[in-house]
Structure 1
Amino acid sequence: MHIESYKTDVTTKEDANFIVVLLQFIISDCIMNFDLDNNDRILKIETNRDIKEMVYGVFNKQGFHCQKL
């Protein structure tokens, strides 16, 4: 497994939890967590496959932005 990191514009714990629930529904074989204390509000996802487009899709559909680091 490798870790993908995304810089996000998510600011609240509630929004972060909601995004994680949506992502886990679509990408159930990954481990995810947010670091909202970091200035870039980093989402880290441990995965075995390319999930970037799925992550971008969920963020965009919910009105948020993320960028793979």
Structure 2
Amino acid sequence: MNIEIYKTSVETRDQATYLLRLLQQHISDCVMNFDLEDCDRILRIESNRDISEIVSGMFVKHGFQCQKL
């Protein structure tokens, strides 16, 4: 299992919930969560495959920024 960590521009719990639901529709075999209390608004995803293009594409499509750390 790989862990990917992203710095994001997500600001609210509602935004995080919305993005998690969208991401789970496309990469349902992953475990993911946000840490909005971190200054970088961290998204952590556990996956068995490379999903970075899916994640970054989804964020951009919905008006958010993310950077893989």
What TM-score does the superposition give when structure 1 sets the normalisation length?
A: 0.99
Kindly provide the amino acid, as one letter, of the partner of residue 2 in structure 2.
H
Q: CA-atom RMSD, angstroms?
A: 0.3
SS in structure 2 at match of 1:6: strand
- 2-structure distance, mates of 1:67, 1:58: 12
> Any unmatched runs of 5+ in structure 2?
none
> Structure 1 regions of 5+ residues with no counterpart?
none
Query: What percent of counterpart residues are identical?
Result: 61
Q: Give the aligned partner of residue 56 of structure 2.
A: 56
- In structure 1, how many angstroms separate the alpha carbons of the residues matched to 2:18 and 2:32? 12
Deviation for aligned residue 1:2: 1.4
1:22 Cα deviation after fit: 0.2
Runs of 4+ in 1 over 6 A off after TM superposition: none
